[in-house]
Structure 1
Amino acid sequence: MEAVPTSALTDLVVRLVDLCRRRAGAVAALFLALTVAAGWYTAANIRMDTDTDRLLSADLPWKQQERAYDAAFPQFQRRLVAVIDGTTPDRADDAAAALAARLEQRPNLFRSVRRGDAPYLRTHGLLFLKEAELRELADRLIEAQPMIGSLAADPSPRGLFAAINLLLEGVKRGQLDLAATAPILDGIADAAESAVRGEERPLSWQALFTGREPGPLDLRRFVLIQPALDFGSLSPTVSATDAVRAAVRELGLTPDAGVRVRLTGNIAMEEEEFRTVADGAEVSAAGSLLAVAVLLFLCLRSGRLILPILLTLVAGLAFTFGFAVAAVGTLNPISIAFAVLFIGMGVDFGIQVATRYRDRRHAVPDPADAMRDTARGIAGPLLLAAATTAAGFLAFLPTDYVGVSQLGLIAGAGMAIAAACNLTLLPALLTLFRPRPEPEPVGYAALAPLDRLLVERRRAVLTVALGLGVAGLLALPLLRFDFNPVNLRDAKTEAVSTALELMADRDTTPFTVQILARSPAEAAALADRLEALPEVFRALSIASFVPGGQDRKLPILDDLNLLLGPTLTPLSVAPPPTPAQIRAAMAETVERLRALPGGEARAARPAAALSAVLAADDATLARFGRAVAAGLPGRLDALRGLLSAGPVTPDTIPADFRRDWVTADGRARVEVSPAGDGRDPDTLVRFVAAVRAVAPAATGTAVTIQESAHVIVGAFRDAGLVALGAIVIVLFTVLRRPLDVALVLAPLALATVLTGAVAVAAGLALNFANIIALPLLLGAGVAFAIYYVVNARAGQDRPLQSSTTRAVFYSALTTAVAFGSLALSNHPGTASMGLLLLIGLGVILLTVFLLLPALLAAARE
C-alpha cells in the first residue's frame, strides 16, 4: 500500500499541537475559563421538555389526525387513571365517589376529575339490561320491598337487623322459605366471623339486590384525572400523583378497608419510568466511573495520562452542552442522550492520542518531538474518524423523528468539539502533567502469532466471514421491532402492571382506535360497519347509549317505581343508633334464628357468628357495623336514581355525557376496541389495518404506537442510508481510493449484520430505547477501522501488535463498561439499550481485529 501523503491539514494540526504544547499553561487557563463559562451558560439557560408527544414531527399526516381528534375531545388527553378495586361493588362505588370528591377540591393540581361511570349511566343503567333480565330484577326487588322499606327508614345495622327480624317472622309463620334468606344470612355470617378475627369483610348490597355474584368489572371503578402538567420538569406529573396517593391514604382506601387503588395511564407510567431509570443511578454511575478509571489505568498505566483525558472529556462535554442549549434551546428525553454518545467517542479520541503519545515516548526521548510525532500520526485518522462519525450523526437531521434529529445535530457538533479538544487541550495537559517515558513498546507483541495466522490464512478468514455474513443476512428478517412502549417499562411497577392487567381484558384495553365522524348519524353507521369486522370486539358511538326496547322496559320501571318509590322515600329517617340499640336488634335476631321450627341447620352458623360479635367489645361491633351497613345509603340512593330513569333519545342525553361523544359543532366520535389480546402485536396490527380500511383517518393509541414505530424505524433506516453515503463521500475525499473505503466499510457491514443476528438469537427486539444505541455503534465501527486502514497506508503491516490495538481495545472496553452497565438496569428499555451496546461493541471488535488484518493482507497482494 502507498503511504498517506502529508497534507496541509496534517501540517496545520502539527503546528497547532506544538503551539498548545509550548503555551500549555495559557491554553489550560483559557480552556478552564471557557469550561466554567460554558457550564454557567448551560446551567442558566438549559430547558427540558419531557412532553413525548413532541418527539415526532407535527407535520406527519397521522399526527395531524391525532391533533384534530385531541382538539375535538381534549378531556381524554393526558389522563391519570385511578383503578379502584373493591371487595364488593358497594366498596368500589363509595371509594370512587370519595376519591373523586376529594380531588375536585384541588383545582390547582387537577384540571378535571371524573368518574368512569358517568351519572347518566348510573341513572339509566337498568334500561341497558335485556328485557328478561330487567323483569327478573324487578321481581326480586318487589319481593324485597318490606326489607328495602325498613332499610330506607333506618339505613344502619339496627335497621338491617330489624328487617331481618321481619323476614324471620315470615319464616316462622310459614309465609317465607328460610332458603330465600340464605344470601343475606350467609353474608351476615361472613361479616361477623371476619369482624371477630379483626378483619372487615363488607356485605355486598348490590349482589343482594340483583341476586347475582359480581364479576371482575362489577368490582372495579375508574376515576379519570387530568392533572396540571409541568413539562419543564423531568417528572411533570409528580405533584399530581403524590396528591392522589395522599388523598387515598387520608380517605383510608386501603386493602384493610376492602379497597385497592392503583394509578396508571401514560403519564403515570412515564413518571414511574423516570423513577425506575433514576433508581440506583448514582451508585451505577459511580461504579461505571470507577471501572472506566481502572480500564484507563490498564491501558495507559499512568495517572499523568488518565487525568488529562478526563479533564479534556469534561471540558468537551461542557462545550457540547453549551452548544446544545444555544442551538436547540430545549432538550428532550432523546436529545439529552448526546452526552452518552459524546463520552463514548470522546474517550476513544483521548485514548488514541494518549496511547500514540505513549508509543512515541518510548521511541523518542524528547517530549516535544514525541508530541509532534503524535500529532503527525494521529491527525489524519482522528480527524477522519471525527468527520465520518459527525456525518453519521448529522444524517439524522432531516428525519421526522424530532428527538433524534436534534440528537444528530448536537452529537455531530460534539464530534467536532471532541476532536478539537483532543488536539489542543489534551496536548497542553499532557505537557503540564509530564508523563514519564515508556520503558518498552506499548503494543501487543504477544499477538504476533495471530497477526501471522490472519495473514497466512487470510483466504480462510475471508471465507468464514463471508459465510457468517450470509447467515446473518438470512437471520435479519427475523429481527423484529417491538412497538409496544409498555414493554420498555418495568412490569413490576404499579402503573405498568395495572396497564398490562387492563390490556388483557378487551373491555378495558387502552389500545383502542378513535374516529372523528362528521355527524352522530355518520358515527352510528360507521360503528355498525366496524362492529361487523372479525378484528373488532366493539364499536361505540353516541347512538350506543340510547337503550333499545324502551317501549317495553320503561313500563317495567314505571311499575317498579310506583311500588318501590314511596318505600324508598320514607317520611322520616331514624337517627343513628347507639351500640346498645345495635346489640339489642342483633340479640333479637339471634333469638329468632335459634327459635326457628325444628332448629333449622341453616340458621346455626349466622346465630353463632352474631353471638360471637355480641360477646366481643365495642370495637368489634363497630367493625361489624361498618361491614354490613357502610355501603347501604349509597346503594339506596343508587336504586332511587335507577328507578327515576325516563325515556332517552339522542337529543335528550345529558349534555355532560354527550360532550364525550359529540362536539359543539356536531362532529361525533367512534371508539373501537380490538377482538383478542390487545397485548399481542400481531393482533393490534390486524386490528388497526382492518379499521383503517374502513376509516382511513382513524387515530387513537393503537394507531399512534404503530405509526410512531414506522416513523422511528424509517428515520433510522433513512438516516442510516444517508449516513452511509456521507461517510463514503468523506472517506473517498480523504483516502481517495475506493479500495481503502471498502476496507473501512467491510468490517462495519459485517458487524452490522452479525449484531442483528446475535440480537435475533438472544431474543432481543429493537425498540424505541435501544435503537438509539445504533449511532454510537456506527461511529465506533467506522472510527476503529479508519485507524487501522490509515496506519496500513503509512506502512504498518502488523496491525494487532501496534499501539492502535491497545487504544481500540480499551476504547471499546471503556465504552462497554460505561454504558454496558445499563444492561443491569431494572428498566427494560434501558437494559435492552445496554445489552445491544455490549453485543454491538463485541462484534465490532471481533470484525476489526480478525477480519480487517486479513482484508489488509489481501489488499497488499
Structure 2
Amino acid sequence: MRRTLEFLARGISSLVWTLPVPIVLCSIVVAGASAWLAATRLRVINDTDAIIRPDSPIHRNYLQYKNEFQAEGDYVVVVRSNDPEKNREVAQKIGEALKQMSPPLRRVLYRLDFSRLEDRFLLFLDTDDLRQIEKDLQGYLKALRQPKVRLNVHSMLDQANARFSEAYLRKAENWKEFKPFIDQFIAMLNRLADTVEGRVTVRTPVASPAESKASKVAQAKLEDFQRLKTENEFISFDQGRIILVLASPPIGAQATDENQRIVHRLRQVLATIQTQNPQVHIGLTGEPVLAADELETSSQDTIRATGIAFALVALLYVVAYGELWRPLVAIVVLVLALCGSLGFATLAIGHLNLISEAFVAMVVGLGIDFGIQIMSRYEEELALGRSLRDALDNTLRHTGVAILTGGATTAVAFFSMCFNDFIGLAEFGAVAGAGVLFCLVGNLIVLPAAYILRDRGREPHKLQTEASRSHWAAGPFVHRILFSFPWGVLAAAAVASWLAWQYAQKVTFDYNLLHLQNPKLESVQEELSLLQSPANSVVVAVSVANDLEEAKKRVEQFKKLPTVRDLHSLTEFFPEKISEKQALIRRIVQRLKGARIQTDVRSQINVARVRRDLASLLEKSREGYREAKKYTAFAQQARDAVEVFSKLIPPLERALAAMEQTSQEELGRRLNRYQIEVFGAMQRNLAWLASQKVDRPIGLEDLPVELLERYRSPSGRILIEISPKESPWDHQSLARFVKDLRTIDPNVTGTPVENYEYIELLRKAYLDAARWALIVVAILVAIHFLHPGYILLTLLPLGLGSLWALGIVGLAQIPFNPANIITLPLVLGIGVAYGIYAVDRYQEEGRMNLFSTSTGKAILLSAVTALIGFGSLLVSTHRGLYSIGLLMLVGIGSCLVTSLWVLPQILCLLDRWRLLRKQPTSLASDADANQARPAAVESTLDSPRGSPCTPLETGQAAVPSDPGPNHLGGYRETQKDPAAPQEKKTSEPPAS
C-alpha cells in the first residue's frame, strides 16, 4: 500500500512538473463556475421537514397532517397588559392590520364570530346549571309580576326596605327566601359602592381558542351573556391579561426566504401599533419566527466566523513563515477549494441547512492543514539544498502520502454521517467531506503547481536562502525541556487519563432546543415568557380522528392523562344530553313568555332618594343587629340575623361614605352607569333567555368559520390539539407526554412529537457516525502503516485525546446538545491526522526527530489553524454554533497535546530501548563506542539514528545521520551556513 501511494505521489509530481499552467488555469475556471452556481442557486434553509426522511413513520404522520389540514406553524403575536379591555382593543387592531399585510398571510385568527351560536348558548351549560337558572328565574318572574317592581336601582332598594319590616322578619318561613335575597343584594351593594367610589370592576374572561366559550357561562348564571360572549371571542388567558393573535404563513413559505421577509414585515407592523399603544406589551414568537431568527442568527454567525478564521489564518501564516507570497498562495488555493465545495453542494443538494452551513468555517481551519504540511516540507527540502524537482518529489512522496491518509480519515469522518436516516446530518457529511477532498486535491496538485510556476527558473541559491529564512525547527533546548523525563510525563498522562475517565462519566445531554438559540432574541424571550404564564406554550401535539364521534371518544381519553393540560377541538361545541337540556330550555323559554321585560333602563336616577333609601337600610340593619344580638343565646333565628346584618352593614357604610365625597352631578352619572350595567344586563339576559331555540341540535354550520378552517379538513377529518401540562422543551416531561399520548393514539404527531423523535434520531445518528468514523479511521491507518506497532502508536494519541476531552467536558459541566454532538465523529477524523503525521515522519527518519524537522512545526500550525477555524465559532450568538466551537477546541487541543507531547515520549523511550539493546556490555573508548553503534539497525521498528531524545553515556561520541545544513538535532553542536554550497547526496530514507 505504501508503494502504491508513493507511486501515485510520483505520478502527481510528474503531472504537476509537466503541466503547472493548465492545472492552475483549470482550477480557477472550475472555482469561478462553482462560485457563480453557489451565488445564483445555493440557498440556506431551516426546515425540519427537509432534514428528516419523509418515509420515516413518525415524520410521515406529520407530513400527512400538514398536507391534509394545510397546517403551518403559526406566527404568534402576544398582547399583554393588566387592562383586558385595552388588550382586546389592541388585538383587534393587530388582527385587522395583519389581514391587510403584504405579502399576504394565509389565515389570521384573532376573533371568533359566535353570532350563529348566540340563540343556542344554553345547550353548552350543564343540566344542573340549567335547573339553577330555572329556579332563579322563578324569583325574577315573581318580582316582575308585581305592579310596582322594575329592574332598576329604586325598585331594588324598595324591595330591600320592604323585607326589612319587623313583620316580615319575625316569620321564620320568610328567612328561607330572605337569606338568598340578602346574599345577592350584598353583591349588588358592593358593586354599587365600587361604582360610586370610581373603581373599575374587572370581569373574568375565559381562556383558550378552541375551548367551549359558553362552558363557563354557568358560573355567571344570569349575568351579562353578551359581555361574556364578547370577551370569549378573543384567544385570552390569565383573565384577559394575555391575548394571542395567530397568523398562518402561505403554504411552504416557512422553508423559504419568504418566511424571513414575512417576519421582518410583521415586526414593522407591530412596531407601529406598539408606538401607538405604549401601555400594552406586544411581542412576536411562534415556530416560523423561531426558525427565521435561528436561520438569520446562524447565517450571520457563520459569515462572521468565516471572516475571522480567514483573517487569523492569514496572519498566522505570515508570522510563522516570515513571508507573504507562499502563505498567500496557500490561502488562495483554499479559497478555490471552498468555491468548488460550494459548487458541489449546489449541484448535489441545492441547499445548505443549519447544520451544513457551518462547514465553511470548519473547512477553512481543516483545509489549510494540508497546505501547511505541503508548504513546510517543500521549504524544508529546498533549505536542505535539494533541487526544485527533488523537493517536489520528496514532498509529495513523503508528506503528500501522509496528508493523503490524514485527509482521507477526516473526509471519512464526515462521510460516515451520510449513512443514517437523518437527512440534515447526511447533507452535512456530504458537503463537508467533499470540502475536505477538494482541499486535499487542491493542496496536492494546485498548490505545488503554483509553487513550481513561481520557482521554476529561479536560481537554486536564492531558493535555498529564501526557504532557510522561513523554515524553522526547534533547537536542542526544546527537546531537553520536552523529552528529558518521558516516564514522568507518561505517569502524569496516566493520572490525567484516570481523572478524565472519572469526569467523563458525568457528561450529560441537553435536549432543550431553545437552549441552542440566542436567549436575547425576542421570539425566544416571548416563548419562555409564555411557558411561565397560564398560556403555557403555543407548541401542541395533534391527533387526527376520522369523524366527530371518534374525536369525542379520544378527547375524553386524552383528558384523563396526567400529562395533558388543555384540549382544543370542535368536539367542545357539541354538548351531551341534548334531549334533557332541550326540555329544560323549553320550560325556561315558556316561563318567560308574557313577562314584562323592560328594554331601556336609562331613566334618570333620583340621587336624593337613593341616599335616603340607603340611609334607611343602614339604620334598620344596625338596629336589627343590636336587637338580634340580645337573643343569640336563645334563638337560631337571632344568630342568623346577626350574621346577615354583620355582612350587610359594611357595604352600606361604604356606599354612603363614597356618596358624601362625590358631587351631586357626578354621583348621578355614576349611579346611572351602575343601573345600566347591572339592571340593563339583567333585562338583556332575560330577553336573551327568551330568544333561545331548541328546534334542532347544534351543527357544524353553526360554528365560527375560523374554527372550521383550523379543526376540520376538506375530507371531514377532525383535528385535536393537545397542550402538555409541563414544558414541551424539557426532554423528560416531553417523553412522558409523548408516551402517554401514544397509549391513546399511536399515530399522534405535532411539533412536540417531532422534536422528541428528531432529537433521539439525531443523537443516535451522531453516535453511529462516530462508531463508523472510528472503524474506518482505524482501517485507513492500518492500510497506511501495515504494522501493528505503528498502528497502535498512531491511534494512541487519538484515544487519549478523546478521553481527555470528555473528561474536560464533564469537569466543566458542558453538556452535549443536538448541535455540538456533531463533534464526536469530527474529533476522531481530525485528531488522528496529527498522530499520522508524527508517526509517518518517525517511520521515515527512523528516529524521534519530530521537532527538528518541518513536520513538528507543520503539525503545530495545522492544529492552530484548526483551532482558529472552530474557535471562530465562539463569536456566535447562536448557542448551538458556540458550543460546537467550544467542544472542538477542547477535542482538537487534547489530541494536539497527546500527539506532540505524549506520543513523542513513547517514541523517545523506544529509541533509548533499541539503542541500549544494541550497546556493548562495556565501553572501553570513544572509538569502540562509535564502532559498536551501527548506522542502521533492523528491528521491529526502524532503527534510531542518533535521536535527539536518546541520552549519551559519558565519553560517548555522537554519530550524525545526514543532519543536513539546517538540522538542529541533539548530536550536532555546530551548524553549517545555509548559503554554503552543499555536496550532492542521496536523500533516500531507510526502508520501512
* TM-score (ref. length: structure 1): 0.79
Q: Which amino acid aligns with 1:236?
A: E
1:241–1:589 distance in 2 versus 1, CA, 3 Å? farther
Aligned to 1:89: 84
Q: For this pair of structures, how many residues does the alignment match?
A: 790
Separation of aligned partners in 1, 2:53 and 2:888: 27
User: How many angstroms does 1:274 deviate by?
Assistant: 3.0
Q: Secondary structure in 1 aligned to 2:106?
A: strand
Aligned to 1:222: 244
- Structure 1 residue aligned with 2:543, among 483, 499, 515? 515
2:82 pairs with 1:32: no
Q: Which amino acid aligns with 1:319?
A: G
User: How many angstroms does 1:732 deviate by?
Assistant: 1.9
User: How many angstroms does 1:25 deviate by?
Assistant: 4.7
Separation of aligned partners in 2, 1:646 and 1:101: 33
Separation of aligned partners in 1, 2:519 and 2:316: 35
- Structure 2 residue aligned with 1:835, among 886, 900, 920? 886
Single out whichever of 339-348 and 92-101 deviates more from structure 2: 92-101
Separation of aligned partners in 2, 1:831 and 1:354: 31
2:73 pairs with 1:78: yes
Aligned to 1:183: 194
Is the contact between residue 759 and residue 765 of structure 1 (CA under 8 Å) also seen in structure 2?
A: yes
Q: Secondary structure in 1 aligned to 2:472?
A: coil
Amino-acid identity (%): 25
Separation of aligned partners in 2, 1:774 and 1:138: 71
Separation of aligned partners in 1, 2:889 and 2:613: 79
2:156 pairs with 1:105: no
1:26–1:676 distance in 2 versus 1, CA, 3 Å? closer
Aligned to 1:621: none
User: How many angstroms does 1:266 deviate by?
Assistant: 0.9
- Structure 2 residue aligned with 1:733, among 772, 783, 793? 783
Aligned to 1:543: 571
User: How many angstroms does 1:789 deviate by?
Assistant: 1.6
Separation of aligned partners in 2, 1:241 and 1:561: 53
1:541–1:31 distance in 2 versus 1, CA, 3 Å? closer
* TM-score (ref. length: structure 2): 0.69
Aligned to 1:654: 703
Q: What is the 5 A alignment of 1:305-454? A: 305-364=326-385, 366-432=387-453, 436-439=466-469, 442-445=472-475, 446-453=477-484
Separation of aligned partners in 1, 2:140 and 2:277: 31
Aligned to 1:56: 52
Separation of aligned partners in 2, 1:561 and 1:321: 78
1:136–1:301 distance in 2 versus 1, CA, 3 Å? farther
Is the contact between residue 454 and residue 850 of structure 1 (CA under 8 Å) also seen in structure 2?
A: no
Q: What is the 5 A alignment of 1:455-534? A: 455-457=486-488, 460-461=491-492, 463-464=494-495, 466-468=497-499, 470-472=501-503, 475-476=504-505, 478-505=506-533, 507-534=535-562
Aligned to 2:109: 114
Separation of aligned partners in 1, 2:719 and 2:290: 26
Aligned to 2:848: 797
Single out whichever of 387-396 and 82-91 deviates more from structure 2: 82-91
Q: Secondary structure in 2 aligned to 1:396?
A: helix
Is the contact between residue 489 and residue 829 of structure 1 (CA under 8 Å) also seen in structure 2?
A: yes
User: How many angstroms does 1:385 deviate by?
Assistant: 0.8
Q: Secondary structure in 2 aligned to 1:20?
A: helix
- Structure 2 residue aligned with 1:692, among 731, 742, 749? 742
1:65–1:190 distance in 2 versus 1, CA, 3 Å? closer
Single out whichever of 774-783 and 538-547 deviates more from structure 2: 538-547
Separation of aligned partners in 1, 2:867 and 2:117: 58
Q: Structure 2: which 5+ runs fail to align?
A: 142-151, 162-184, 203-222, 456-462, 616-652, 914-992
Q: Which amino acid aligns with 1:698?
A: V
Is the contact between residue 462 and residue 855 of structure 1 (CA under 8 Å) also seen in structure 2?
A: no
Q: Which amino acid aligns with 1:241?
A: V
User: How many angstroms does 1:543 deviate by?
Assistant: 3.1
User: How many angstroms does 1:486 deviate by?
Assistant: 1.9
Aligned to 1:301: 322
1:679–1:46 distance in 2 versus 1, CA, 3 Å? closer
Single out whichever of 278-287 and 845-854 deviates more from structure 2: 278-287
- Structure 1 residue aligned with 2:16, among 13, 17, 20? 20
User: What are the Cα deviations for residues 730-761 of structure 1, in whole angstroms up to 9, with x where unaligned?
Assistant: 22222212332333223223333332332233
Higher relative contact order structure (alpha carbons within 8 Å, sequence separation ≥ 6): 1
Aligned to 1:706: 756
Separation of aligned partners in 2, 1:683 and 1:532: 17
Q: Secondary structure in 2 aligned to 1:387?
A: helix
Q: Secondary structure in 1 aligned to 2:77?
A: strand
1:732–1:100 distance in 2 versus 1, CA, 3 Å? same
- Structure 2 residue aligned with 1:782, among 820, 828, 832? 832
Separation of aligned partners in 1, 2:853 and 2:135: 93
Aligned to 1:581: none
Separation of aligned partners in 1, 2:547 and 2:159: 62
1:830–1:567 distance in 2 versus 1, CA, 3 Å? farther
Is the contact between residue 511 and residue 673 of structure 1 (CA under 8 Å) also seen in structure 2?
A: yes
User: What are the Cα deviations for residues 72-94 of structure 1, in whole angstroms up to 9, with x where unaligned?
Assistant: 3224x222112222443222223
Separation of aligned partners in 1, 2:566 and 2:698: 20
Is the contact between residue 411 and residue 436 of structure 2 (CA under 8 Å) also seen in structure 1?
A: yes
Separation of aligned partners in 1, 2:108 and 2:686: 25
Single out whichever of 125-134 and 291-300 deviates more from structure 2: 125-134
User: What are the Cα deviations for residues 384-408 of structure 1, in whole angstroms up to 9, with x where unaligned?
Assistant: 0111222222212221111221222
Is the contact between residue 235 and residue 274 of structure 1 (CA under 8 Å) also seen in structure 2?
A: no
User: What are the Cα deviations for residues 420-466 of structure 1, in whole angstroms up to 9, with x where unaligned?
Assistant: 11122212333455572224862233430344246344652563355
Separation of aligned partners in 2, 1:222 and 1:299: 59
Q: Which amino acid aligns with 2:375?
A: A
- Structure 1 residue aligned with 2:265, among 243, 247, 263? 243
**Which has the higher Rg, Structure 1 or Structure 2?**
2
Aligned to 1:845: 896
Separation of aligned partners in 2, 1:589 and 1:417: 92
User: How many angstroms does 1:102 deviate by?
Assistant: 3.1
Separation of aligned partners in 2, 1:773 and 1:596: 79
Q: Secondary structure in 2 aligned to 1:237?
A: helix
Is the contact between residue 378 and residue 395 of structure 2 (CA under 8 Å) also seen in structure 1?
A: yes
Q: Which amino acid aligns with 2:491?
A: A
Q: Structure 1: which 5+ runs fail to align?
A: 146-165, 192-204, 575-584, 615-627
Single out whichever of 655-664 and 829-838 deviates more from structure 2: 655-664
User: How many angstroms does 1:781 deviate by?
Assistant: 0.5
Separation of aligned partners in 2, 1:143 and 1:433: 108
User: What are the Cα deviations for residues 39-87 of structure 1, in whole angstroms up to 9, with x where unaligned?
Assistant: 2233344344443321111111101121222233224x22211222244
Q: Which amino acid aligns with 2:3?
A: S
1:700–1:209 distance in 2 versus 1, CA, 3 Å? closer
Is the contact between residue 74 and residue 288 of structure 2 (CA under 8 Å) also seen in structure 1?
A: yes
Single out whichever of 107-116 and 351-360 deviates more from structure 2: 107-116
2:864 pairs with 1:813: yes
2:57 pairs with 1:46: no
Q: Which amino acid aligns with 1:757?
A: G
1:479–1:317 distance in 2 versus 1, CA, 3 Å? same
Q: Which amino acid aligns with 2:528?
A: L
